[in-house]
A = this chain, B = another copy of it.
Amino acid sequence: MLKLYDFLESGNGYKVRLLLHQLGLDFERIELDIVRGATRTPEFLARNPNGRIPVLELEDGTHLAESNAIQWYLADGTAFLPRDPVERAQVLQWMFFEQYSHEPYIATVRFWMHTGAADEKAAEIAARRPRGVEALRVMDGHLASRAFFVGGRYSIADIALYAYTHVAHEGGFDLTPHRHVRAWLDRVRGQPGHVPISAA
């Protein structure tokens, strides 16, 4: 059976969990408390030398890291990843946007506020917040004329961006001005087999 090394509050872990649920695949979930260093043990570093969850362990013992690479592996050949070469590149474009221009700002600020580091990290949070707002602005502009990020259909690009956008308020981000993003969040939540981030 597939094994997912995971942390329930992680949006990166949630991307893989949500997709596994929507694909109807059984998996064993192994919860690792990243705040207490569970991803920095020699045992875990043998699975991912970069010391991060999620990691998917395949039946033959191969380990895959990086949430969006795992999503690609699971989704290829299914309805969650288009077949057209340009649309596939666009899915990757939005997944790289998510990891470079969205996650380091929106997810990181949320993590600090979640773990009681808001005071200690106040200067960092103030520096990162505008770039998170900018990512939301780019998303809102794209969604102004589209139901989903790529090809008019729900795909792993939507899952990648939903993961931390739907909890952005936990990092103090106000989605009120981004009405196209809010309507898209509702569309993603309405997909068959959707489960919340808290669902193991």
Residues of A with Cβ closer than 8 Å to B?
49-50, 58, 62, 64-70, 72-73, 76, 85-86, 88-90, 92-93, 95-97, 99-101, 103-104, 138, 141-142
Chain B residues with CB under 8 A of A64: 86, 89-90, 93
> What's the least CB distance linking A72 to chain B, in Å?
5
Residue in B49, B58, B70, B99 whose CB lies within 8 Å of A99: B99
Residue in B73, B90, B95, B103 whose CB lies within 8 Å of A86: B73
| 29 pairs from A and B in contact (CB 8 Å cutoff) | A49-B138, A50-B101, A50-B138, A64-B86, A64-B89, A64-B90, A66-B92, A66-B93, A66-B96, A66-B97, A66-B100, A68-B92, A68-B96, A69-B89, A69-B90, A69-B92, A69-B93, A69-B96, A72-B92, A73-B88, A73-B92, A76-B88, A92-B92, A96-B96, A96-B99, A99-B99, A100-B100, A100-B103, A104-B104
Give Cα distance in the complex from A2 to B72, angstroms.
27
List 11 extra interface pairs beyond A64-B90, A66-B92, A68-B96, CB under 8 A: A49-B142, A50-B97, A65-B93, A66-B96, A72-B92, A73-B85, A73-B89, A76-B85, A95-B96, A96-B96, A104-B104
Q: Evaluate contact between A141 and B49: CB separation under 8 angstroms.
A: yes
Chain B residues with CB under 8 A of A99: 96, 99-100
> What's the least CB distance linking A27 to chain B, in Å?
16
Q: Evaluate contact between A86 and B62: CB separation under 8 angstroms.
A: yes
Chain B residues with CB under 8 A of A66: 92-93, 96-97, 100
Interface pairs A-B: 5 shortest CB-CB? A69-B92, A73-B89, A66-B96, A69-B93, A66-B93
Q: Which residue of B lies closest to A89 (CB)?
A: B73
Most buried by B among A58, A89, A97: A89
